[in-house]
Amino acid sequence: MTFPPANFDPSIDPTPDQVRALRDRGPDGAVVMLNLLKFRERANYPAGSPHAACSGAEAYRRYQKAFVETVGDVSRAEVVWEGKVDLPFIGDAGQDWDKCLLVRYPSRQHFLAMMANAVYREALVHRYAGLERTLLLQMRG
C-alpha cells in the first residue's frame, strides 16, 4: 500500500509542526495520550479495499490492535483505560464523543517511533476509515 492511503484524512492527523513540537519540546519520561474519539457510522475504506465492511468503531478496533499488538515491540503502548463516553457533562455538548482512550507510552520517542514504523503506517487505513473526528492530548505519564 502506498502512503497515505486513498482515505487519508488530514483533519485527524498531526501537522508537521505538532510532530516537531512533540519531538523537540515534549516531556522526558513516560507520556499518556488521551484520545477522544467520534466514530463514523460506517467505515470509510477506499474503493477496492480488501477490508470487510464494518462500523467505524470496528475499523478503529483494527487500528488499535495494530498499535498495541502488531507493533507493540516498537510502541510499547499500554491501554490504561478505555470506555464509552456516556454523557457530555460540562462543556460544548455539540462535541459529543463515542469513546475515551488513555494510552501510556514509556517515552515520546516510543510514540514517535511507532508513527514512523511501516507496519503501523499500513494500519492507518483503519484509523482513517473509522474516525469522523478526534482530539488527542499528550500528558506526562
Instruction: Judge whether 67 and 26 are in contact, CB under 8 Å.
Output: no
Give the DSSP letter of residue 55: B
Residue the block writes with cell 505538532:
18
| The architecture CATH gives domain 29-44+52-140 | 2-Layer Sandwich (3.30)
pTM value?
Answer: 0.89
Q: pLDDT tens string for the chain (141 positions)? A: 566 788 888 888 889 999 999 899 878 899 999 999 999 999 999 999 999 999 999 999 999 998 888 898 999 999 999 999 988 888 877 788 999 999 999 999 999 999 999 999 999 999 999 999 999 999 998
Torsion sign over Cα 62, 97, 15, 56: positive
| Domain ranges, ordered by start, for the chain | 29-44+52-140
Instruction: Judge whether 60 and 47 are in contact, CB under 8 Å.
Output: no
